[in-house]
Structure 1
Amino acid sequence: MKIAVWNIRGLGSSSKNRMVRSLIGKEGISIIGMVESKHKEITVQDINSCWGNYDVNWLQVSAEEGGSGGLILSWIKDVFNLEEYHISQQWISATGILQQSNFRCNICLL
């Protein structure tokens, strides 16, 4: 299992989505945090274009008016089982179980 965090500086264009998908595929990423997504609302299509055929979940902090900011935490469902989460305008905290080791952990993205 690998975790990546990336200041994406805007997600949603087909070229950025391909870059994320390439990173996930080449590096075997299971959990990814994206900072500065610059998105008000991430859609299922946006997530699927990044992950391909994986069954994934995600949490999001919407970008501010004008497009700055935004956070996305996304993971493969078979790898991380979300138990609870907390979100503010500047961070995401996700608590759950890493399935392979049955390890309970908290992942924070800010």
Structure 2
Amino acid sequence: MNCLSLNARGIKGKGKSGWISGLRLSQGVDFLAIQESKTKDLSQRPISSCWGNSSFNCEFVNSDGIVGGGLISWWDPSCFRVSGVFKSKHVLIISGLLIHSAVHVNVANIHAPNDPSSRRASWYELLLYRRSLLGLWILLGDFNEVRSSDGRINSEFFSQNVIAFNDFIRDTELVEYNYSGLKYTYMSAKGDKMSKLDKSWCVKNL
């Protein structure tokens, strides 16, 4: 199953849904995870526009409004058969079976809170899910955190949070995917602040 994670910073902007669906189609994506949908009105039209013309299923967590938040996960039902959905404000977990391999997978779409202490609470929440749901795990999204000081330029860096984040990665036995392209995944409008916040990991619970 080919997965794509994207912090869209709103899905209703001009041309945004077409850009997302084009990216999905060009990369052959079977599972699409969006963070910061910035909308409560998830009618069929914007949801289908982001995916494209082929069949899909989806689940979502509403945002607090236009300001931010909101998670949406889409998947191809011919590839992934869902057996359970688990939601909170910052986490959307889709649990099910990969049809062609009969492997059970839990895909967590994550948008961690901006508040440092709330982020630490999010790692504990995810750890509980990890311990209670068996199978292969894929965690992807905007973690709003870095693993070392070189992950941020001219932005807030909390060493206590870095320790907690790395402890969470160790405790959940996560393996981070290799990256190519640009070193940083976020840059401010002025270009003076950069961070590597968007990540993906996998783990197999044996």
TM-score normalised by the chain length of structure 2: 0.51
**2:43 partner amino acid:** T
Q: 1:37 to 1:66 in 2, by over 3 A?
A: closer
Instruction: Work out whether 1:15 is the aligned partner of 2:8.
Output: no
Is the CA contact 2:38–2:65 (under 8 Å) kept in the aligned structure 1? no
Give the CA RMSD over aligned residues. 1.3
**In structure 1, what is the Cα distance between the partners aligned to 2:75 and 2:34?**
11
Instruction: Work out whether 1:99 is the aligned partner of 2:99.
Output: yes
Q: Name stretches of at least 5 consecutive residues in structure 1 with no aligned partner.
A: none
Bigger strand fraction: 1
Which one scores higher on RCO, CA 8 angstroms, separation ≥ 6?
1
**2:94 partner amino acid:** A
Bigger helix fraction: 2
Shift of 1:68: 1.0
Which string of whole-angstrom CA distances, capped at 9 and with x for unpartnered residues, describes residues 59-89 of structure 1?
Answer: 1111114431000011111111110111111
Q: Give the aligned partner of residue 31 of structure 2.
A: 31
Is the CA contact 1:40–1:67 (under 8 Å) kept in the aligned structure 2? no
The SS at the match of 1:94 is strand
**1:92 partner amino acid:** L
* Superposition pairs of residues 1-110 of structure 1, within 5 angstroms: 1-110=1-110
**2:4 partner amino acid:** A
Q: Name stretches of at least 5 consecutive residues in structure 2 with no aligned partner.
A: 111-206
Shift of 1:13: 3.1
Q: 1:102 to 1:14 in 2, by over 3 A?
A: farther
- Percent identity for Structure 1 against Structure 2: 27
Is the CA contact 1:30–1:79 (under 8 Å) kept in the aligned structure 2? yes
Higher Cα Rg: structure 1 or 2?
A: 2
**2:44 partner amino acid:** V
The count of residues paired between Structure 1 and Structure 2 equals 110
| Poorly superposed stretches of 4+, deviation over 2 Å | none
**In structure 2, what is the Cα distance between the partners aligned to 1:61 and 1:45?**
17
The SS at the match of 2:15 is helix
TM-score normalised by the chain length of structure 1: 0.92
Shift of 1:14: 4.5
